[in-house]
Every structure is written in C-alpha cells, then in structure tokens.
A and B are shown apart, each in its own frame.
Chain A
C-alpha cells in the first residue's frame, strides 16, 4: 500500500519567515495530494491540495509543489503568522476529490516564534 513520509516532525520559524514542509510518497498511482492543518483536539482542515496534472498551486501565502517523477511534494508558507502555529499533515490518495481513503504523513508541528 501507499506510504507517506513527512519531514520535519517539528519546525520552528520566526514570525514573518517562510516555512517549508516536505513529503514523499511510494505509490506511483497516487494522484491527489492534500495538506491539512489540525489544531489540538480539532478536526483536520484542508488548506490546499494538488492533483498530479499540476506542478504547482498557490493560494495567497500558501503554495504546494509536486514532483511526480521524484514522488515528492512540499508545502510552502510565506510571511508566517502566529495563527499558523498548528500540526500540518500531508496526505496522498489514488482518487482525487475525496473518493478514496487518505494515507497521511506523520505530521509536522509548526511553531511560529514571535
């Protein structure tokens, strides 16, 4: 089955700096890669996703890049703010739009230092 690796497990950055979280996946059939933000005790919230026919997607301060050849994708957050502090999970599935179960990475605890 699919295996998703995520790094780093903890990331501390100064407010205003950029944060980058990286994930790799193993199943070349995966073609949907969402990123979730989860605050303690809350449900995961989709912040951005990318499908395999696209190499990059941006939404304001958040961007995701995908390299299908290398089987890795990354989350980029620019101009970080205190409210960006949370745990971020990458995930992969074979069918886009949520019709398939997601395989999650282990998560990255992002800490924004004031």
Chain B
C-alpha cells in the first residue's frame, strides 16, 4: 500500500514552453503533498508544500509564478513549470503524507533544450 505515482517519468521540452507534472497517491488520500527538486549528484531541495483546496506554500527562493502548483483533489497535485529554461532541467520528485510517513513518487526527469 501507500503508493505514489508521477507522470511523466521523463520529459524533454523546448525553452520557453510549459510542462505539467502530475503526482498521484494511488491508494490513500493525501491532504498534503510536497514537491522537491534534485540536481545531479545533489540533495533533494523542498520547493513547496501543496495543500488540498488551498494555495501552496513555497520555500524561500522558489518563484511561485514560475512553478505553479495545484492540489485540486485528495489524490492529485500538479506542478507546472512555466516558461521553462535550461537551468530548470532537473529531477522533480513529489511526496505525499501517508498513514505513517512521507511516500515519494518515482520522480520526473525534466530536460529543457
């Protein structure tokens, strides 16, 4: 139990376009989900906390207008990277608060060309 999925697993987009990443809790409801970013050989950095039915809370230094988060249901949160640039290329991982711990999704590898 307590499975979190992400879609897509990999995406390549052109500079200036927008990309949407979905995070789903498959067998439990998650009022809180988190979005992390991980650069190659680096640690996970918390970007924002996504709460169902309310606005996301962003960490210092993360642009809310660039990284749009929508948590419209108890099983789905989306992250949209708007006007993507090559420096946004990274591994984006979501997690959801489950029964006992945070459960991580498999990650989305974003490459901006």
Q: Interface of A with B (CB < 8 Å)?
A: 1, 34, 41-46, 49, 89, 97-99, 101-107
Contact = CB atoms under 8 A, between A and B. Distances in A.
Interface residues of B, number: 24
A106 B41 CA distance: 9
Nearest to B103: A98
Question: Interface majority SS on B: helix, strand, loop or mixed?
Answer: strand
A98 B43 contact: no
Given A1-B60, A43-B106, A101 B46 contact: yes
Contact of A101 (B34, B43, B100, B104): B34
Contacts of B93: 43-44
Interface of B: 32, 34, 42-46, 49, 59-60, 91, 93, 95, 97-98, 100-107, 109
Given A43-B93, A44-B44, A102 B102 contact: yes
Contacts of B42: 106-107
A89 B97 contact: no
A99 B45 CA distance: 16
Given A45-B104, A104-B46, 10 more contacts: A34-B101, A44-B44, A97-B101, A98-B101, A99-B32, A101-B34, A101-B46, A104-B43, A104-B44, A106-B42
Given A43-B106, A98-B95, A103 B46 contact: yes
19 contacts: A1-B60, A34-B101, A41-B109, A42-B106, A42-B107, A44-B44, A46-B101, A98-B101, A99-B32, A99-B97, A101-B46, A101-B49, A102-B95, A103-B46, A104-B44, A104-B45, A105-B43, A107-B42, A107-B43
Please give me the 8 A-B residue pairs with the lowest Cβ-Cβ distance, nearest first: A98-B102, A43-B104, A101-B46, A98-B97, A98-B101, A104-B43, A106-B43, A104-B44
